Structure 1
Amino acid sequence: MAMAGLRDELEALRKMAQEGDPVAQFNMGVRYANGQGVPQDLLEAARWYGAAADQGDAPAQFNLGLLFYQGQGVERSLEYAYELFRLAAVQGDARARAGLDAVLLELDALTRERLLRELPLPSTH
């Protein structure tokens, strides 16, 4: 009985996510990233995080940035991770600010200068 309830909950969440709810999309990403009720699939997690991130969901932007920073389920891209962390940091996500710092430490000087010029770090209050 409990399995049927979890399956129904997952299907309701999936339906909301497919209809464009960013919180549901983020939660689908979490489920796929952690293998909660579905087989773990980091590429599928990235797809769901991406859908929510495109709608401005800061936690999704951070989680997707982390996947790109670590190269988990997606090809590693420090520049894209920086862009995603910056979007989340602008909205006040403190973890994203730490992500920005980590990315900047790994970039070569020219890329770092270009990114900071094109996408300046958000100010801290």
Structure 2
Amino acid sequence: MYSKILKILFFSNNGYFNWLCITALVAIGTFIWNVWFNKHKFKADLISKSRIEWMNQVRPLIAKYVAAVPMYIYMYNRYFIENNGSLKKLNYKMDEIEKLYNELNLYIPDTRGASCLN
């Protein structure tokens, strides 16, 4: 039964090999592969784009946070140790740090990777 189907598909009436069927099978296989590949490529591109956007939003927040904490420590030392500085500026800096910390907690999920912020 299969040999009759193969003879009909792959050989002409004169007994010559029929390349048209092979070409059609290769075209169908290529089409299926392209559909599958493009589906996965689209998903990967979407994930990459969202991660890049996330990094562009979080990077400035982390930079401000990392810069604000040492400045607070410096201002704290000036106010309490050297008795020089302003308590109002110190409280303002702490409010800024808390605001940045809370914004970062919104962007970074509570996982092992975010434990450095806690």
TM range (shorter): under 0.3
TM-score by length of 1: 0.25
Which protein is richer in helix relative to its size?
Answer: 2
TM-score by length of 2: 0.26
Q: Which has the higher contact order (CA 8 A, sep 6+)?
A: 2
